[in-house]
Structures are given as C-alpha cells and as structure tokens.
Structure 1
Amino acid sequence: MEYEKLKQWMDLTNQYQTKSFWNDVFESKQIHATEELAANFFSNQDIFPRCDVFEENECLIVEAELPGVEINEIKVFLKQDELILKGECKTIKPSIKYYLKERPNRTFEKKITIPVQINRQEIQTHFKNGILSIILPFNQTDHENIPITLNHEESSSS
C-alpha cells in the first residue's frame, strides 16, 4: 500500500519537473502584466517636465517643473483638447570640466489632454522659480443656468 502512495506522489511531482510546465508558469499573462507595470513605472521616472493638473476656482491649472530652463526656451500651444509644452533644457557648458554630470541637455515635448471645455481667450501663464503655471479658465457658457419654461396642460373633465 505504501508503494502505491509513493507511485502517486512520484507521478504528481513528475509534472513539475518538465520544462514545459515551468515555461507555462513564467509565460503567464499575470507575470507579463507585472513586468509591464514595472517597466511603465521605471520608464515614467524620466518624464520631463513633471506636471500636476488640478482644478481650482473654476479653472484648470497645469504646473510644470522646468528647473534651469529659460522662459524663451519654452513654447506652449493649445491644439484642440491638448496642451502641448515644448522646449529645450540646456545644462551642458562647453568650457567646463565635469566630474559628475547627471542633467543632460534635452529637448522635450509633453502633451496633456484637457478634460474640460475652457475659455481660450482668457488663458494666463506664470513662470516663477522654475515652475510654469498655466491657468485655463472653464468655459462658463457651458455651465450657465438656462431657465426652461414648463407648460401646464389642463386636464379635461367629462
């Protein structure tokens, strides 16, 4: 009887010793999904410029970190429902002998989808301490209260 249990145990463990079993385990979609999430996380660590988008006082505010970037190196466009930030960050000085250089020269283009209708004529910008703020006022015509007259019908009694 113990021999029969041992044989069952051996048959069960044989399936874990095949190469195809372990390939199936490591090729599962769950593993790939985890790898994809990790890749996205680490690739997003180098996004430039980093931005915050939030709502405040009936406006959509976009704040972009642009340390070391001159204001004349930044271009901002609004194209349909996308805000586009383009520019160049120049950090390398040709006459300097560097011992550590972690901030490369780079050009950038960032597109941010604007989720609400905005008043394009009243957009404002501020650039202070390396932070570009773009104030996009909501389009108030979409939010106006429009009175609707209710018609009252008399019911006829017979």
Structure 2
Amino acid sequence: MSFEDLQKIYQFVDHSHKDEYWQQMFTNSESTKSSWHHKGNPAIKNSDEFPACDYYLKDNMYYIDIELPSQKPVDVTLTINKHILSIEGSYQTLLNGCTYFIKERQNKSFQKLISIPEYIGEQHIKKQWKDGLLRISFLAK
C-alpha cells in the first residue's frame, strides 16, 4: 500500500463523521455558490441531528416540517438573520422526585439553521403546529 493510499484512509477516518466532509464530497462547489439551495436529489439519511426536519417545494410553496414532540409553540423561537432561518428551543424531560429505571429521553437545547431565499422575511412565514410537528411555509417566487 502506498503512502498516498494511507493518507486517504487517514483523512477518511479523521473526517468521515463530519457533515461538512460529506457535503464537500458530494457537492459541486461552483454550482452551490450561485444558488441558495442545492437542487440535487437529497438522500434520506438516518441522523443524530436534532430535531429531524424535511424541507421541500410543493405547488409553489416551500415547506419545512420539524418534529418537535411535546413542545409548545411558546417554547420554540424562530428568527431570520442573513437568509438563515434559526429554530431554537429546549427539551426538559427529567422529572423531580422520580427513580428512573430507563432514561433515554434527553434534556437538551437545540438550534436548527436552514438557508432560505433572500426575499423571505419573518412577515412571509406561516407556522402551524399539529401533533408534535411544526410546519413552516412560505411562497416561492
């Protein structure tokens, strides 16, 4: 095995757990510079990224569906800064006075950052909560 092959293996092992590594590997950097989103066929992936979301275009509307079980609308903050939609909140699942036999649900804060078109402002965004799903929608130009 050559030294170059060993370097490639080392780089893969060192960086393969990072999302940026995979984005760089499968994204043509010239095409993404001219567009605020990538128009390829995104793969469905199982990820530890929290909260899980889908971002899609249907009938001239953009939709972002975010899974937020047991959250209340007042516990989640949406802001837009420089064409980035930020969704922030926290989960508190630890109950006082309990003896846990299994504790798999975590207490954690989250922030989800999503690129959106330049013409979208907070006044253009519609929000709907239903069964633990936050649906954000805005009109495509």
TM-score by length of 1: 0.62
Q: Distance in 1 between matches of 2:51 and 2:59?
A: 24
Post-superposition shift, 1:90? 1.1
The answer to whether residue 60 in structure 2 is matched with residue 58 in structure 1 is yes
- SS class of match (1:46): coil
Higher relative contact order (CA 8 A, sep 6+): 2
2:67, 2:134 within 8 Å by CA — same for their partners in 1?
yes
Query: What residue ranges of structure 1 are gaps of 5+ in the alignment?
Result: 1-20, 141-158
Query: Given the alignment, which residue of 7, 11, 16 partners 1:32?
Result: 11
Letter in 2 for 1:72: V
Post-superposition shift, 1:122? 3.1
Q: Distance in 2 between matches of 1:121 and 1:90?
A: 30
TM-score by length of 2: 0.69
* Per-residue CA distance 1:107-155 (angstroms, 9 max, x = gap): 11111111463365332100111110000112x4xxxxxxxxxxxxxxx
Q: 1:27 to 1:115 in 2, by over 3 A?
A: farther
Q: Could you say what the CA RMSD is over the residues aligned between the two structures, in angstroms? A: 2.5
2:79, 2:86 within 8 Å by CA — same for their partners in 1?
yes
Query: What residue ranges of structure 2 are gaps of 5+ in the alignment?
Result: 20-45
Structure of greater Rg = 1
1:76, 1:85 within 8 Å by CA — same for their partners in 2?
yes
Q: 1:115 to 1:122 in 2, by over 3 A?
A: closer
